[in-house]
Amino acid sequence: MAVLWLYLPLVACLLLGQQTCAKNEAPCQLSKWNNGFRTFLKRHIRDGMPRSLDQNEWEKYIRNNGGCDRPTQSFLSPDDLERVKAVCSKEGGKTYKENLCISQEPFRFVTVRSQPGTCGIRSITSEEKHLILACEVLDNRCVPVHFEGNPTNLKPSNNARGCQDPQGRGHAPACRANLLWVGFMLLLLCF
pLDDT in tens, 31-76: 988 999 999 999 999 999 999 999 999 999 999 988 888 999 999 9
CA gap 16, 13 in Å, rounded:
5
Instruction: Go through the domains of the chain in sequence order and give each one's CATH number.
Output: 22-171 (3.10.130.10)
Percent of the chain with pLDDT over 70: 74
Decide if pLDDT at 116 tops 70: yes
100-128 burial: b if 16+ Cβ within 10 Å, else e: bbbbbeebebbebebeeeebebeebeeee
Decide if pLDDT at 103 tops 90: yes
Give the model's pLDDT for residue 168.
46
Give the model's pLDDT for residue 24.
85
pLDDT tens digit sequence for 152-181: 999 999 999 999 865 544 443 444 444 443
Decide if pLDDT at 183 tops 60: no
Nearest to 182 by CA among 22, 5, 7: 7
CA gap 166, 175 in Å, rounded:
20
Give the model's pLDDT for residue 112.
96
